[in-house]
Amino acid sequence: MPATATLLSSLNAITAETVTMLTVLDEATMTSDRREAKRRVIEIKGKAQELLDWLSTVGLEETRN
């Protein structure tokens, strides 16, 4: 599997895991720590999406002529 495809697959898995994390955090008791954890998970999800979008556009493999 090409490097870009492997990375995109991994990023999809990370994004799916952040959904699980947020679900668990939503069910946890409301505390400032929970809010901070949720903020950090949302940040991870955003960065993963940003990288996914970038990789989808540029890719890592060299183009062939």
Q: For the segment 2-52, what is each residue's pLDDT rounded down to a tens digit?
A: 888 899 999 999 999 999 999 999 988 888 899 999 999 999 999 999 999
Q: What is the structure's pLDDT at 64?
A: 58
Owner of token pair 């183009």: 63
Q: What is the structure's pLDDT at 63?
A: 59
What is the domain partition of the chain in residue ranges?
A: 3-56
DSSP state of 61: S
Whole-model pTM?
0.79
Question: Does the pLDDT value for residue 65 go beyond 60?
Answer: no
CA distance 57 to 54: 5
Q: Are 55 and 6 in contact (CB under 8 A)?
A: no
CA distance 45 to 14: 8
